[in-house]
Structure 1
């Protein structure tokens, strides 16, 4: 049983919280805003929130780079939402609207959307372009994480 504290960034107020690894599944709340740290929904990130979640969180962060006008992005959204319910609390799922945050898209060289990027320890470890179903998203994330351990 791992009792080491992990840094978990709140999806609501973006405050960094310390949560024991063995307590992740116990529905921890944010120490600042008192809302759940995991609610089964991807968190929408702007540039500042992206830096906090990817840079400070000690759990992997799966980011969906998307745009509102993108048909495949809209088609994949429910699958990504369902994957959040399945992968949390061990992986944070997040969305970056490339229209609203073009500097993030440029920084990561996003050339097609949707693109999923998996970050571990603040750095990108894998990328997958194109729409995917829930089972494929979950399988891909689990396979990548298994190979990086």
Structure 2
């Protein structure tokens, strides 16, 4: 991405609606098998006002491919909340242009009487960096006590 002094910058959102994937998530035994999930996301970025190259933007195709590949390859996650956090952690690590995000992760088959249920995570880059620093410090403390 070009530096802000290269021209005016604007705030913009990349919107992803109903990205469909398969993964293993849930606390019940039958949820260890692959099941469908649906993702909605709003990815808030700042970039130059008139970008001319994909490097000046958040590449939504690469973002969607990253999420789907991770969901397909992960062995299992018990909590949908943890899986949503893992997905946004990947996003903040890979896409430096990303300032904040809202990610909703739905499990369409989780509750028979509902069309779908899920969780919504709102995270800023600063929140993510604090979380990452805290988990790194916890791992260091745990290693010292082992």
Instruction: State the TM-score, normalized to the length of structure 1.
Output: 0.27
Higher strand proportion, which one? 2
Give the greater-gyration-radius structure (CA): 2
Higher helix share: 2
Q: TM-score, normalised by structure 2?
A: 0.27
